[in-house]
Each structure stands twice: as C-alpha cells, then as structure tokens.
Structure 1
Amino acid sequence: MTSTAVADANVPAAAPTPESLAARCERELLSFPGPKTPEFVKAACAKVVKKDECVSAEGVEIYHYDKISKDPKAKKVLVFSLIHGDETPAGSVGRYWMERLEGIDPRNTWRVVPVLNPDGVKRKTRTNANKIDLNRNFPTKDWDEMAQKLWKAHTSSNPRRFPGQSGGSEPEVKCALKHIEDFAPDFIVSIHTPLKVLDFDGPSLKKKPKFDYLPWKSLGTFPGSLGRYMWFERKTPVLTMELEDRLPGTYQPFESLQDIIGSLTVFETDDSPAVPKKAAEPAAKKSSALPAAPAPGSR
C-alpha cells in the first residue's frame, strides 16, 4: 500500500450535502396523493423561502411560496395546509394551488404554507412532535381560562386534541403568527380533512357562493383555534376547507374554489354596510362559555 493510499484511508468521509429547501419541497409535495404536474411543482418549489422563525419542534424548516399580484388593489390571501400532519390530502391541495399560481397572473397576492406541521407529517400524526394540536394552540384571549377546560370536558382529554400548556407555545404556531404579522393577510384559508364541508368564520353572507363539491356548514370555533384567533378577535375572515379523505380524480373543484376565494376576498374584506363585520360579534361573546362538543374528527 502506498503512503498516498494510507493517507486516503485515514481521511474521514465527507458529510452528505444538506438537501436544499427547493429539493425538499419538491420531494415532499410530489409524495402527496392526487394528480400533479412535476414541472410546475419544480418551478414553484424553486421559489420557496423560509422565515427565520419558521422551524418545527424538531428543527425542520417550514417553507412558503409567494405569488405577487400585479394589481395595485390586490388583496392578500394566506393559505395554511397540513396544520394536522395526518391530513395528507390537505397538502395535495396546497401543492395544486402552488402549481396553478405558477401559470397565472392572479388577481390577488397569495402566500401558501403547504406543510405547517412537517414533524406531524413525518409521524402521520395530527399533533406536532410535542404531541400538541396546533389548531388548539393559537393564543386566543380565552386560552388560559378555557383551552384545557374544554379539552377535558368535551374530548375526555383526547391526546389528539391536547392544546398544550400555554397558548402560542409551539414553534409551528409561532411560525404561523409570524406570517400573519408580516404578510398581514386580508383573508386566510385553512385546509383540513375529513368533514366534507366549507366552514366560514367571517361576516354574514347574504348568499354563499355555489360550490358543488363541498356544502357550506358552520363548525364553530374553539379556544386556541385559528378561526377564533383571526376572525372573532382580529376580524380577518378564515375559510376552513374540510376535504374528504379521498381526493377527486381531478382538481377542478379546487380550481373553482380558488377563484371563489378571490371573489370572497374582495367582497368580504371591504368595509361595506351590506356585509357588516359586526355580524359575527354575538358569537364571539360566547367564547367564555362551553361551546358544543366538537364532532368526531373535528378540525
């Protein structure tokens, strides 16, 4: 053996090159079920970025995708999918909207966070790595008084819905709050499964837009939920899409819904006497009382 060979044998193997954010985005999004167009996924993932605050409980970076409208009057739409890690179809819709936005000039500015709970996705669990339900961890005004009380009374301390020890404690929720602070959305979309409804926390609608794929139904809000935090406390409308566990064979319904959201955003966030924002205030006053027990599988 030559001295060079001996020297080479003593050189430690190089550490593997860390996967880029774009490569991880592409790998993760393409793994979700449903139709997909890889070249559009690749193009969208090439543009994802992350905020310094957006790291999961296990240190995984939480990326997002922006598509800026050219319209100076554009509203801003913020999308969260996979708040619950075991609701994989939610990620498929987040991916599709990113794909579609790559090919259009949208009337509104969109920010999509396709995987808010990467640790839960990895584990296939509703909760994050700390075993906390992120949609019960937003720091609503009634969190200290009601969050754990309701968890015990209405879910029999179901660990899948554990709200944590304090509101806003989880890094993924802190990431969502940073997006809300910096992006200042006019409208928020939260994608879940499996209740098969559209749930709108926002001003009363004289007539809800027609959407054949999912019926409109109010599910109510809970201490620590995104809907309560954003609409009842901050008057930013939240549309929660509850998908079926099985996706349709085409994404046409979600293309239509994305267009509906564009119209809703303009209509619902204007200070118009036809749609007074005070319409939902009576419901907000109920936050200190025990709401009805959540349905099985509720968001």
Structure 2
Amino acid sequence: MEIFKFGETLLNLPIHAYRFKAAQNPEKKAHVLIIGGVHGDEPEGVVAARGLLEVFRQKYDLDLNITLLPEFNPEGVLLKTRGNSNKVDLNRNLPTKDWTSVAATERYNPGPSALSEKENQALVAWLKEQPTQLIISLHSWKPMLNTNGDIPEAAIIAKHTGYVIEPDIGYPTPGSLGTYAGLENHIPTLTYEIERDIKFDQIIRVHVPAIIEGLKESARIRNR
C-alpha cells in the first residue's frame, strides 16, 4: 500500500489517496479509481470506502490496480455539508458540456465556473494522466447502482445487494462525474447510491463485500 496526497482543498487540507497494485505485472493490469466522500453529508460512502481500505490494508490480493480516495471532499466531511467550504457541490462542478451556472437549488451550487474547485482540478488532472478503466463513486440516497458506460460489475453488486441498476438517475445532473467521466470521456463510471441512514455495520457487512466481488469481475474482464 502506498499513501500519497491526491490534491488539496481551498483551506489546504490534503486529499489522501491509497494505492494498491496487482502482485504480478501491475503495468499490464486495469486501474480502478474508487471515491468516497464527494458529498460530506453522505457518510455512508465514506464508511464504505474506509471499510474497503481496512480490508485491503490487511490483505490485498485483487489482480487489479486500485486508487482509493475515502474522503474526496474533506472540508465537507468535517463540516457535514454536501459542498466544500465554498459551498460548492463538487458533483455539479466538473467541466461537462451541459455544465450550467444555474442551480436547481442552493444545495446543488455548481460554483462560479466549471472546474473552479481545487478538488475537481486535481481529479481532472489525475484522469488525464492516469489511464483508468473504471470509476466507482460511493454516495448515499435511494438504493441504486447508476451506470454511465458499460459496467458488467453492476450486475454482480446488484446480486449481492438487491439494488436496482439504472442508467439514468432520474433527474438532470450537469457537471457530474458520471457525465464527465462516464459519458464524455468514456471511462465507465458507477455511482453507487447506498441506502441513506442505514447502520454503518450493515455497510461493512453487505456493501464492502459486494464491491469486492464486483472488483473481482473487473479483474476478469478489464485486464489488458
């Protein structure tokens, strides 16, 4: 395991990342980016990411390369707010073709311009530099696996969780990661909406193993 600084926030808080590599020929293996804590008021995604980190820290035997960001929005996590300290929703701030400065409500504030926030600047730079075959973004809302792109892994996760698979989340999401990465840059992106307010031990017991089973499928189908 390698720990490194993925980026930083306006208040200079580091965004910590954890890198795990396949044991054999990692340069030939697929790379998966897993993100938690995009919205600081969705602790379920952070718990799932932290649960994965603990499993991988104890034993990592997946035939994949994984970069794990448990708290992509550390300011929001500390403040327990959807947005960062600028009150910007990071999942409406990416430079998509449909980005708009008009917010549906204050909660979905897209920022003064696309890619105005340092967190997303780091993410976009990373995706341009690091070939990535799959992104899993861990959120919480209605139980759902929102797929942008071809993601056979979703069927595996659905089997373990009973969650529905939805290519369309059901409402406009300008500036979102699913649109930016999944639709416009052809990096399959799974927005994993864990049921809001479920007990954290249930996340560890059900969702962490489900994600790992999905990642085993990633190793089977995505390695070069």
- Under TM normalisation by the shorter chain, which class is it? 0.7 to 0.9
Flag structure 2 segments of 5+ consecutive residues without an equivalent: none
Instruction: Check whether the contact 2:44–2:200 (CA below 8 A) recurs between aligned residues.
Output: no
Asked whether 1:97 is paired with 2:46, we answer no
1:184-199 equivalent positions in 2, closer than 5 A: 184-199=131-146
Deviation at 1:181, TM superposition (A): 2.5
Question: What is residue 246 of structure 1 aligned with on the other side?
Answer: 198
Question: What is residue 133 of structure 1 aligned with on the other side?
Answer: 89
Question: What is residue 115 of structure 2 aligned with on the other side?
Answer: 168
Instruction: Check whether the contact 2:64–2:223 (CA below 8 A) recurs between aligned residues.
Output: no
Instruction: Check whether the contact 1:186–1:237 (CA below 8 A) recurs between aligned residues.
Output: yes
- Work out the CA distance in 2 between the residues paired with 1:240 and 1:71: 29
Asked whether 1:263 is paired with 2:212, we answer no
Question: What is residue 161 of structure 2 aligned with on the other side?
Answer: 212
Instruction: Check whether the contact 1:84–1:120 (CA below 8 A) recurs between aligned residues.
Output: yes
Closer/same/farther in 2, CA of residues 106 and 261 from structure 1, 3 Å limit: closer
1:31-180 equivalent positions in 2, closer than 5 A: 47-51=2-6, 54-72=7-25, 73-102=28-57, 103-143=59-99, 147-149=100-102, 151=103, 155=104, 158-180=105-127
Instruction: Check whether the contact 1:75–1:109 (CA below 8 A) recurs between aligned residues.
Output: yes
Deviation at 1:199, TM superposition (A): 1.0
Flag structure 1 segments of 5+ consecutive residues without an equivalent: 1-43, 272-299
- Work out the CA distance in 2 between the residues paired with 1:84 and 1:248: 17
Tell me the amino acid that sits aligned with residue 64 of structure 2. Answer: N
- What percentage of aligned pairs have identical amino acids? 29
Normalising by the residue count of structure 1, what TM-score does the alignment of the two structures yield? 0.66
The number of equivalent residue pairs is: 213
- Work out the CA distance in 2 between the residues paired with 1:75 and 1:224: 26
What whole-Å deviation, never above 9, does each CA across 1:94-115 have from its counterpart, x for those lacking one?
1111111121221111100111
Higher RCO structure (Cα 8 Å, ≥6 apart): 2
Normalising by the residue count of structure 2, what TM-score does the alignment of the two structures yield? 0.86
In angstroms, what is the RMSD of aligned CA positions? 2.2
Asked whether 1:230 is paired with 2:184, we answer no
Instruction: Check whether the contact 1:193–1:243 (CA below 8 A) recurs between aligned residues.
Output: yes
Instruction: Check whether the contact 2:95–2:114 (CA below 8 A) recurs between aligned residues.
Output: yes
- Work out the CA distance in 2 between the residues paired with 1:142 and 1:212: 32
Closer/same/farther in 2, CA of residues 160 and 232 from structure 1, 3 Å limit: same
- Work out the CA distance in 2 between the residues paired with 1:136 and 1:108: 29
Closer/same/farther in 2, CA of residues 182 and 77 from structure 1, 3 Å limit: same
- Work out the CA distance in 1 between the residues paired with 2:32 and 2:183: 18
Question: What is residue 277 of structure 1 aligned with on the other side?
Answer: none
Deviation at 1:264, TM superposition (A): 4.1
Q: Secondary structure at the match of 1:130?
A: coil
